Structure 1
């Protein structure tokens, strides 16, 4: 009996001891395969560890190579990404404070920009209401652009004219504001000439739908009225006022030519015409200031390629023109959905990037970063990869599901730097937010 009790206790002790000391074998950690392209990209990037508006000056010093440029083009891979807009706001602030930039040229019409430059100079008016009432392009009618304009206005307070920053438009897509502005200004200087200009240009305000020409002589004669009365205009106002009037007249001529081309020829041909005029307007604006300047437009406009605005600027300014392009891989974007035929906040499926080189950008060790383009293309494996797939970006509109017209080819000379924001958040549009 005694032997049985001892045996039982031994069995219990042994069982408890084995249960107590038996270790749990951990599951093996999965091995993440890093391709040579990923490894090389990771060695080249400068991570952006904060949101755009919170980036310090030290974190942006990587871009100091751009300080010698006369013009810096700031692109965007969509017209409706919050992070792109805020990054360009932060970059312009850096360029103003460290590179002495004074002008921010926008992808908007000239007369429209004069309305908002007045706010930037004086601070008069309710900027939100002004944007809702006067901002023609939905792309910029956002909280993010409002914040930029407010920063510019606050920066200007207490500064002499030579130290102030300005916003000016370089596009040529609408008649309305340009016609109204030139007539208003001419009537103040000389009512007789102003009335004649109004008679010539008023029919342009009544056009609805597609413009197919018919007023070529009107816009040419209006421009001629301004130029042949140069001395009179200067004597009654100033050289600066004459330059504004002359440019307004030229932009109206550009708009007439572009719209006629757009509705009677291919979009490709008219796009080339528009980009040429945009580069002419950048050049005109640069001649108004001794300081370097920034240009805000889509990647496709600022890129040094083909017949783009950026290519035209580069032919004139060469190494004095530098660019920053943007990319993304997923998220939401404000854009016109042509399938739904409306402006909307659109979500991009994560598998979209798999067809494009944006997939590699999304696999870097940091979700957001800056990388120098020539460094990437100097590596053979990366260069080969970039040649194997297109680069995904969208303009103001797109078809859903996404079609092949949403891509382009990325080349080493397109941009000086590329900023990748992995997940896009749609811009905060005043037109979509109650």
Structure 2
């Protein structure tokens, strides 16, 4: 998810990124390469002990590319255990290796552990469109990605490859189909179809309340341009949020819990209310922006849990590190990420996996309203950063269970340090800071990443 140097502007940009998947990139200052060898001292000795400890427990990763043998993922499967939901983060929103690894791990979990849903930090309505395609709907994968994920960092070849594989899998496994979930609020494009799904149910189940529902949704549907919508007065947007909530209350009282058609209509109405509730934020008030982001993380967790319990399958949840984990680098904006909510809901049945990388390229968006995604490259991590020490482990790419790492490593991992962290925004002044050991259950570390591929 998505920058200025102070919280007010950071909050404004983070809110914009949430609804438009665009943001401002702070100028990337040159990051000094690691200094040459230094004398042995206490700090050097402690770091060497940490590296030795991680060397003992790190599991080498053969590749991040999907397809081929997956024997190197068996230990990761053991770390995941019987979890019903696995959150798989990404240190950036636009690196090939993170996206490819999500595809690779999902294939492994489908084939070895019976996972059935790939969930993405994208809108509920975009997820419905992709899900219909993987279930056998018309079109081709690249066109569906452009239509459903257009303008986002996921409008990339890597995601076209993923949903193409899911569709092919479903053709050969009709008895256990894979599903695609968008667990986020409806921005940037809620459209009209989801309103009609709600109205269609009420028209059949409770035609007597349809006029009231239509009256509440009048003026709300469709919502296709969230950036333009945010230009409306705050008071108007808050009134609309109240109307969307009233419509949700009306639908809630219009059916029988447990009935499949009712539950889906209710979830669609809930997503509409979540979207308008988020879009009622006051962009000039950092506290309002933070509250909206907190609503968003809660909504993503609730939507994921609803889907998992409704479908009964296991879910691989793809999101930024700061949403999939238990701790974000910006604790003002994200004091309780989606991962923390899911841990509260599932306990040990939720596992958070984070990513780190030492160097490489990713995509960011440096114009709020109309800019395209562009490539940014960062040099190797400096000695004060988490990644500097993590990259000294003997494996080029690896993963490690942070919960069972040796004590010396856990103590080091629990300290807050600068780290590479980029959603739609990359902030390098000051650098983001994170205690890796408190943020995730499992960590995947990659030596180098590259920008995701354009469609």
Matches within 5 A, 1:114-153: 114-153=128-167
Determine the structure 2 residue equivalent to 1:251.
271
TM-score by length of 1: 0.81
Determine the structure 2 residue equivalent to 1:390.
418
- In 2, Cα distance between the equivalents of 1:279 and 1:111? 16
8 A contact 2:77–2:109 mirrored in 1: no
Matches within 5 A, 1:330-345: 330-337=359-366, 342-345=371-374
Aligned partner of 1:279 among 278, 288, 301: 301
Does the residue aligned with 2:180 lie in a helix, a strand or coil?
strand
1:262 and 1:392, CA in 2 relative to 1: closer, same or farther beyond 3 A? Answer: farther
Residues 285-334 of structure 1: CA deviation (Å, up to 9, x unaligned): 12212222211111111112341111111112111111111111111101
8 A contact 2:402–2:440 mirrored in 1: yes
* CA drift at 1:219: 0.8
Aligned partner of 2:408 among 361, 365, 380: 380
Aligned partner of 2:195 among 167, 182, 186: 182
Moved more, 316-325 or 331-340: 331-340
8 A contact 2:201–2:261 mirrored in 1: no
Instruction: Choose between structure 1 and 2 for higher RCO, CA contacts under 8 A separated by at least 6 residues.
Output: 2
* CA drift at 1:126: 2.2
Determine the structure 2 residue equivalent to 1:201.
220
8 A contact 2:416–2:433 mirrored in 1: no
- In 1, Cα distance between the equivalents of 2:367 and 2:411? 34
Residues 203-253 of structure 1: CA deviation (Å, up to 9, x unaligned): 75575344522313321233244334326xx9xxx9433322211111111
Residues 74-94 of structure 1: CA deviation (Å, up to 9, x unaligned): 111111010011101111111
Moved more, 79-88 or 281-290: 281-290
Aligned partner of 2:184 among 171, 184, 188: 171
8 A contact 1:81–1:334 mirrored in 2: yes
1:119 and 1:339, CA in 2 relative to 1: closer, same or farther beyond 3 A? Answer: closer
Determine the structure 2 residue equivalent to 1:106.
120
TM-score by length of 2: 0.77
1:56 and 1:209, CA in 2 relative to 1: closer, same or farther beyond 3 A? Answer: same
Aligned partner of 1:412 among 422, 433, 437: 437
1:55 and 1:255, CA in 2 relative to 1: closer, same or farther beyond 3 A? Answer: same
* CA drift at 1:142: 0.7
The answer for unaligned runs of 5 or more in structure 1 is 1-29
Aligned alpha-carbon RMSD (Å): 3.1
Determine the structure 1 residue equivalent to 2:65.
52
Determine the structure 2 residue equivalent to 1:8.
none
Determine the structure 1 residue equivalent to 2:56.
43
- In 2, Cα distance between the equivalents of 1:110 and 1:196? 23
Determine the structure 1 residue equivalent to 2:446.
421
8 A contact 1:187–1:195 mirrored in 2: no
Determine the structure 2 residue equivalent to 1:17.
none
Determine the structure 2 residue equivalent to 1:303.
325
Determine the structure 2 residue equivalent to 1:371.
400
1:428 and 1:125, CA in 2 relative to 1: closer, same or farther beyond 3 A? Answer: same
Residues 81-126 of structure 1: CA deviation (Å, up to 9, x unaligned): 1001110111111111111111222111111111110100015212
1:103 and 1:133, CA in 2 relative to 1: closer, same or farther beyond 3 A? Answer: closer
Determine the structure 1 residue equivalent to 2:332.
none
The answer for unaligned runs of 5 or more in structure 2 is 1-36, 41-46, 328-334
Larger gyration radius, structure 1 or structure 2: 1
Determine the structure 1 residue equivalent to 2:245.
220
